[in-house]
Amino acid sequence: HLATDLPVQMFDILPFGGASTFLPSAELLIPTASFGTNYFGVVPQRGTAAPQWAQIVASRNGTTVTVFPNVSLPSGAGVSAAPKNVATTFNLNAGEYLQWQDSSEMSGTIIQSNYPVGFFGGQAYACYSDGTSTGGGCDSTHQQVPPISAFGSEYAVPAYTTRLASNEPESIRYRFVGAVGGTALVYDPPTAAGPTAIGEGQVVDFEAKSSFVV
């Protein structure tokens, strides 16, 4: 736990010091003041046979975490399994964490706690291709996911600058996770090729070549 006398931003970087391996990755860390007690577990789309993983970190002693997974989560040393569609409870103290690997496609899993926790999802070795790639690329990936209370209903989605020698737009992968059943999705411009509706806990992956607002 790191505390500062003035506001800062904090990142974790893998590997620190530069991309000395072929699996560099980084994430912006959300401060503990923004932790929540209600989450949908979100992990990256599986890109290879490498395991997806998920992690829950406690910020206070006496934290009780109840997980209602959409897939069966494995057991580990001192950690019981969490069967699919069954509420399973775990007890954590400050700085302790649960990590499932393989978490499988647990995006949409409901997580509830009595005190604020952090949720992280990742994959150690992800190889993706898309509509404009010439064989794809591999990377590690991890991100901290905000609680449901921080979800929004309007997002600006900027496309990054193309890396193609032709300067044509790249096809970029996106993942949506719905929080409420019957959610309608409207795009500006309307040519964005995303889903038009999404349900509670539903996961939708798609690609787009340009920036849009949804």
Parallel, antiparallel, or unpaired: how do β-strands 183-184 and 25-28 relate?
A: unpaired
> Whose CA is closest to 53, among 37, 73, 38?
73
CB count within 10 Å of CB 92 equals: 21
Question: Which residue's structure tokens are 């995006």?
Answer: 107
Please state the rounded mean pLDDT for residues 182-204: 89
Mean pLDDT, residues 94-123: 94
Q: What would you report as the CA-atom Rg of the chain, rounded to the nearest whole angstrom?
A: 18
Residue-wise pLDDT tens digits, 146-171: 999 999 999 999 998 998 889 999 99
Which structure tokens are listed for 51? 């395991």
* pLDDT of residue 19 exceeding 60: no
Query: How many Å apart are CA 187 and CA 181, to the nearest integer?
Result: 19
Per-residue pLDDT at 91: 97
pLDDT in tens, 62-82: 999 999 999 999 999 889 999
Q: Report CA-CA distances (Å) from 55 to 24, 103, 158.
A: 19, 9, 28
